[in-house]
Structures are given as C-alpha cells and as structure tokens.
Amino acid sequence: MKIIVVVCIVLALFISMWLASFSVKKYGAGKSVSPYRLKYIARTIHIVLIFLYSAILITYLSLEYSQIWVFLSSIFAVLGVALFAQWSILSNITASLIIFFGFPYRVGDHIEIVDKEADISGIIEEISLFHVLIKRGDELISYPNSLILQKPVVKKTEFNKSI
C-alpha cells in the first residue's frame, strides 16, 4: 500500500511540474517574454515543487526526525554560508521572479534608470535570471535585477523623446 501512495506522490509531482511549466509558458506568451527567461522561471518553480513534494514524502514515510534533521541541518548550513557569501545572487533571483510577474517593461522598450551617479538608458535587449541587458548605441549594459527594482525606471515613449 505504501508503494502505491509513494508512486501517487511522485506522479503528482510530475503533473504539478508539467502544469507549472504550462502555466508559465502561457502567462509568458501573453506578456511576450523570451523563451530563455521562461525556462529559468519554470526551473525555479520546479525546484520549489521538488522541495515541497519531498517534504510530503518524508512526512508520509514517517522517517525518524533525528535522521532528517541531521541531513537537513547539514544542507542548510552549507547553503546558508554559500548564500550569505553571495547574497546578491539570491536577491537577483528573487528580483527576477518579481520582474517576471510584475515588471511593466518588456524587451524592446526604451527605458531610463534614474541614477544620479550614471546615465543608464537604452533599449531592453534581454531580461535574464540575474540581470537586465540594456543596449545603448553600440554598448551593452548589464544591470542587476535587484537594483532595477530599487531605482525609479522611466519608460521613454516617442512623446518623451521629442521633449
């Protein structure tokens, strides 16, 4: 009986991953998001689903908590040190998810990032997992996702360009 339930949990994981991929692709198609970006968003959601279903499976199988806690605490200790050392990576990945679902700008839009230290303006070439690529003339500016959420961004229109 346990084997049947375990197989059902694993099947539910694969179905959930398929539904998540399908939903992300459908949502992305409506917003004209690049396939490259959709792939990374789907992967991130898949990782979350794997952790969730693993927790369900561990709970169902009634594994001893002491074994699980030793294993998980070891993993979280290593991850904690790695993420603390590279905090910007984690914040850029989180910002990438926010940008995917709520960013009002798309690839091809002409934007200006309001920054008193530098003039950052141009056309959005790509929005990836870690940064936004902005093309200005023959230059390609790589701007971190976490910073683009912190700074004001102005979308340039034909009307704004003539003023």
Residue 99 lies in a domain: no
* Nearest C-alpha neighbor of 128 from the set 111, 148, 114, 113: 148
> What local confidence, expressed as pLDDT, does residue 99 receive?
80
Report pLDDT digits (tens) over 32-65: 777 877 888 888 899 899 989 988 888 888 777 6
Domain check: are 129 and 63 in the same one?
no
Residue 129 lies in a domain: yes
Count structural domains, the chain. 2
Report pLDDT digits (tens) over 61-92: 877 767 777 777 887 787 777 666 666 777 88
Tell me the pTM: 0.55
Q: Is the dihedral of CA 96, 149, 104, 142 positive or negative?
A: negative
Range of the structural domain that residue 148 is part of: 104-162
Residues ≥6 apart with Cβ < 8 Å to 7: none
Decide if 88 contacts 144 (C-beta within 8 A): yes
Residue 92 lies in a domain: no
* Nearest C-alpha neighbor of 95 from the set 59, 123, 130: 130
The residue with tokens 């959709």 is 38
Tokens standing for residue 81: 């040190």
The secondary structure of 3-20 as a DSSP string is HHHHHHHHHHHHHHHHHH
